[in-house]
Structure 1
Amino acid sequence: MLRFFQSYFPYQYASLLGLLLLIRLPLLLHPFPLLIPELNWMIVGEQMSQGNLLYRDIWDSVSPLSAMVYWGIDSVFGRSPLVLHGAATLVSVFQIVYFNYLTNNRDIYPDRTFWPGLIYMLFMHLSFDCLTLSPVLMSTSFLLLAFGTLIRQMDRRGATDEVFEVGFYIGIAALFYLPSALFILWSIVSLLFYTGSTFRQYSLSVFGFLFPFAATVLFYYLFDGLNDFNRNLLASVFRVRQYSLSDFQSLLASLLIPLGLGVLGFLSLFSRAGRYVNFQQRIQQIMAIWFVVAVLTIALMPFLAPMAFLSFVPPMAYFAYYYFENIRKVWLAEMSFSIAFVLILLLFYQGALGIIPGAELGRLSSLQVRSSPLPADIRDQHVLIIGEDLSAYRQNHLATPYLNWDLAKYDLKNLDNYEAVINVFDHFRLDPPDYIIDRENVVEKLFQRAPALAARYEKTAVADVYKRKN
C-alpha cells in the first residue's frame, strides 16, 4: 500500500478518498451503538431549533459553534446519527486532503508523496466513536488552518500581518471545542522562536484569538445570558466531567499504535538530522510543541474517549511518516504499515460491530446509550433526568434547561438555598416535565422545599420515576 501511494499524482486523491469510504461505508450502512455524547449533541440542536438559547435556556457545556452546527443539522434533518456520521466524513475528507496538500506544497518533507494523507486517514480511525461529528473533530480543522498559515509565515523572511489569521483560526477552534484555546500558547511559542515576528505581530495574533470570543461575549450580553455563558462554558471547563469512562483499556489500545509510530518517527529524526533543511527542522519542532500542548488539553477534557484525542492526529501522523521513510528496506516498511493498518481497523470494527464475540475491548460500553428506564410505550414526552444517564431522552424530549448534570447541580444540589429553589420552580413552571427520573435522590427534598411541585407529581411503579398528574 505504501508503494502504491508513494507516487504524487492528482488521481491519488481519488484513491485515498475511495479507501476512506471503503473503510467507513460498512459502518455508515450498518447501525452501530449510539453514544451518550451524540445523544447530548442532538438534544442541544433540538432545543436550539425550538428557540432556546444555549447556556441560558440549555444548561450544557458544549462550545457555541459546535452547538450551532448541531442546531443547523437538527433544523434540516432532525435527530439523525447518520447525518452526524456523514458530516464527520466530509470534515475528515477536508482534513486529509488539506494535510496532504500542505505537507507536499510547502515541502514539509524531503519528498512529495501521498503517505502523509494515507497515514492521517488511518489515524482518524482510532475508534468507532471518531466516526461522529464531535467538537474536537471540527476544532482540529481550524487548528490545521492555523498551522498552514503559520508555516506560510515561516517560509518568508519575516512574519507579516497574516499572523492575525493564526490567532483567529485558533479562536474559532476554541469556540468549537474550548480546550483548543490552549493552542494559542503553541502559536505564541512558534512565532517567538521560528519567525521574525515583532511585538505588534504578537499582539495581532492574540487579538485575532480574542476577537471571536469578544463577539460571542457581546452576543450573550445583548441577550441577557452573559452570566450563564460564563458559568456553563468558561468556568465549566475546569469542573465539568461527564460520562465517566472506566474503559481505559480501550482508550490505551486505540492510542497505542498511532502514538507508538509517532514516537518512533520522532526518535528516528535524531539519526538522520542532516538530511533535512532548516525549514523542515523548524516544522519538526513546531509539531513537537503541538503535541505537548495537545497533552495539556487532556486535563480540560469533559470526558475521556478516543474521539477526544483527535487533536493528536496531526502530530502523530506527521512524525509517523518519518518512521516509515527512514526504514531502509522497502519490504519491511510495507509490512510494518500493513500490520499497523490491520490492527487499527480491527479495533475500529471490533468497537462498532463486536466482531470478536465476548470481547469488550474497544466497545466503549460506558459511553453507549443504555435502555431507557421508562416503559417502551412512553415516547415523545417531556422528561427531566436528574443524573448522568441520558438514555430516556432517546425517544423523548428534554424538559427544563437541566441537561448537563454537572451544571444542574448548581440548582438541584443546592436546595437549601432559597434562590436555587426559586430557579427550579420557575423552570418547572415554564417547561413542566411529564416524567422525572431521579438518579441522584433530590426530588424528595425538592418537593419538601416546593410543596406546589409535590402536588403536581406522583410516584410510578418504576423506581425513582415520577409522573405529572393529569
Structure 2
Amino acid sequence: MLSFFRVNATLQIVGLLLLLILIRLPFLLSPPPLLIPELNWMLVGEQMHNGNLLYRDIWDSISPLSALVYWLLDLTFGRSITAYHMAGTAVAAFQILYFNWVMNVRDIYPDRNWIPGLIYAVFLNMSFDCSTLSPVLLSTTFLLLAFGTLIKQMDRRGATDEVFEVGFYISLAALFYLPSALFIVWALMALLLFTGASFRQHSLLLFGFAFPILLTVLYYYLADSLDDFNRNLLSSVFRVRQYDLTDFQTLLASMFLPFAMGTLGLLSLFRQTTRYVNFQQRCQQIMMIWALTAFISVGLMPFLAPMLFISFVPALAFFASYYFQGIRREWVAELIFLGVFIFTLLILYQGALPLVRNWELGRLSALQVKTSPIDRHIQKQKILVIGEDLSAYRNNQAATPYLNWDLAKYDLRNLDNYESVISVYDHFRKDPPSYIIDKEGVMKKLFQRAPSLSTLYEKTDLDGVYRRKEEAVNN
C-alpha cells in the first residue's frame, strides 16, 4: 500500500479518498451505536432550532460555533446519526488532503508523495467515535489552516502581516472547541523562535486571535447573557468533568499504535539531522511544540475518549511519515504499515459492529446511550433529566435549560439560596417538562422550597420519575 502512495499524482488523491470512504462505508450504511456526546450535540441543535439561545436557554459547555453547526444539521436532517458521520467524513477528507498538500507544496519532506495523507487517514480512524462530527474534529480543521499559514511564514525570510490569519484560525478553532485556545501559545512560540517577526506582527497575531472571540462576547452582551456565557462556557472548561464516561481500555488500545509510530518517527529524526535542510528542521520543531500543546490540553478535556485526541493526529501523522519513509527496505515498511492498518481496523470495527461478541474492547460502552425501562413508558415527551446520563432524551425532547448536569448544579444543588430557587421556578414556568427523571434526588428539596411546583407534579411508579398532573397541563 505504501508503494502506491509514494507517487505524487492525481490517482493517489482519488485512491486516498476512496480508501477513507471504504473504511467508513459500514458506518454510513449502518450507523454505529449512538454516543452520549452525540445525543448531547443533537439536543443542543434541536433546542437552538426551537428558538432557544445557547448558554441562556441551554445550559451546556459546548462551544458556540460547534453548536451553530449542530443547529444547521438539525435544521437540515433532524436527529440523524448518519448525517453526523457523513459530515464527519467530509471534514476528515478535507483535513487529509489539506495536510498532505501543505507537506508537498512546502517540501517539508525530502520527497513529495501521499504517504503523510495515508497515515493521517489511518490515524483518524483509530476508533469509531472519531468518525462523527465532533467539536475537536471541527476545531482541528482550523488548527491545520493555522499550521499551513504559519509554515508559509517559515518559508520566507521574515514574517508578514498574514500572521493575522494564524491568530484568526486559532480563534475559530477555540470557538469550536475551547481548549484549542492553548494553540495561540504554540503560534507565539513558533513566531518568536523561528521567524524574524516584529512586535507589530506579534500584535497582529494576538489581534487576529482576539477578534472573533470579542465579537462572540459582544453578541452575548447585547443579548444580555454575558454572565451565562461566562458561567456555561468560559468557566466550564475547569468545572465540567465526566470521567465516568471514560473507557480507559479502549482509549489505550486505539491510541497505542498512533503514538508508538509517532514516537518512533520523532526518534528517527535525531539520527538523520544532516539529511534535512534548515527549513525542514524548523517545521519539525514547530510540530514538536504542537504535540506539547496538545498534551497540555488533555487537562482541559471534559472526559477522555479517542475523539478528543484528534488534535494529536497531525503531529502523530507528521512524525510517523518520517518513520515509514526512513525505512530503507521497502518491504519492511510495507509489512509494518500493514500491521498498523489491520490492527487499527480491528479496533475500529470491533467497536462499531462488533466483530466479536462479548468482547468490550473498542466498544466505548461507558460512552454509549443505554436503554432503560423509562424508554418503554416515556416517548416523544418534553422531559428533564437531573443527572449525567442523558439516555432518556433519546426518544424525547429536552425541557428547561438544565441540559448539562455539571452546570445545572449551579441552581439545583444550591436550593438553600433564594435566587437559585427563583431561577429554577422561572425556568419551569417558561418551559415545563411533562416528566422529570430525578437521578440525583433533588426534587424533594425543590418541592419543599417551591410548594407551588409540588402541586403541579406527582410521583409515578418508576423510581425517581415525576409526571406533570393533567390539570396542570390543561391550565
Residue in structure 1 matched with residue 398 of structure 2 by the alignment: 398
- Residue 443 of structure 1 aligns with an amino acid whose one-letter code is M
Give the corresponding residue for 2:325.
325
- CA distances 1:179-199 after superposition (whole Å, capped 9, x unpaired): 000000000000000111001
Q: Which residue of the partner structure matches residue 473 of structure 2? A: none
Mark the runs of 5 or more structure 1 residues left unpaired by the alignment. none
Instruction: Tell me the residue number matched to 2:225.
Output: 225
Q: CA deviation at 1:303?
A: 1.3
> One-letter code of the match for 1:457?
Y
Is structure 2 residue 141 aligned with structure 1 residue 163? no
Counterpart position of 1:258: 258
- Can you give the 5+ residue segments of structure 2 that lack an aligned partner in the other structure? 471-475
- How far does the alpha carbon of each residue in 1:252-282 deviate from its partner, in whole angstroms, 9 at most, with x for none? 1111000000000000011111000000000
For the residue of structure 2 that corresponds to 1:324, the secondary structure is helix
Matched, 1:41 2:44: no
Flag the 1:58–1:373 CA change in 2: closer, same or farther, 3 A: farther
Aligned partner of 1:149: which letter?
A: T
2:312 aligned residue: 312
Give the deviation of 1:218 after TM superposition: 0.3
Q: Distance in 2 between matches of 1:108 and 1:34?
A: 39
TM-score normalised to structure 1 length: 0.99
**Which amino acid is 1:423 matched to?**
S
Secondary structure (helix, strand or coil) at the match of 1:376 reads: helix
Q: What is the alpha-carbon distance in structure 2 between the residues aligned to residue 69 and residue 267 of structure 1?
A: 39
Q: State the one-letter code of the partner of 1:106.
A: R
Residue 24 of structure 1 aligns to a residue whose secondary structure is: helix
What is the CA-CA distance between 1:244 and the residue it aligns to?
2.1
> TM-score, normalising length from structure 2?
0.98
Q: Tell me, what secondary structure is at the counterpart of 1:61?
A: coil
RMSD value over aligned CA atoms? 0.8
> What is the DSSP-based 3-state SS (H/G/I as helix, E as strand, rest coil) of the residue aligned with 1:43?
helix
Secondary structure in structure 2 of the residue aligned to 1:238: helix
Matches within 5 A, 1:65-464: 65-242=65-242, 244-464=244-464
Residues 460/259 of structure 1: CA separation in 2 closer, same or farther (3 Å cut) = same
2:310 and 2:269 mapped to 1: Cα distance?
24
Runs ≥4 residues deviating over 3 A: none
Q: SS where residue 362 of structure 1 aligns? A: coil
1:436 aligns to what SS in structure 2? strand
1:428 partner letter: F
Shift of 1:378: 2.4
Q: Deviations over 1:171-225 (max 9, x none)?
A: 0000000000000000000000011100110010001001011000000000011
Q: State the distance in 1 between where 2:55 and 2:373 align.
A: 27
Per-residue deviation at 1:377? 4.6
> 1:375: Cα distance to partner?
4.4
> Residues 424-460 of structure 1: CA distance to partner in whole angstroms, max 9, x if unpaired?
0000001111000000010000000011111111111
Query: Aligned equivalents of 1:424 and 1:227: distance in 2?
Result: 17
AA paired with 1:319?
A: F
Contact kept, 8 Å, 2:246 with 2:303, in 1: the verdict is no
CA distance in 2, matches of 1:209, 1:253: 36
Deviation at 1:140, TM superposition (A): 0.2
Offset from partner CA, 1:75-116 (integer Å, 9 cap, x none)? 111111110110001000100000111100110100001101
Q: What's the offset of the Cα at 1:245?
A: 2.9
CA gap of 1:352–1:375, structure 2 versus 1, over 3 A, is: closer
Q: Distance in 2 between matches of 1:361 and 1:160?
A: 49
- Secondary structure of 1:383's aligned partner: strand
Identity of aligned residues (%): 66
CA offset at residue 302 of structure 1? 1.1
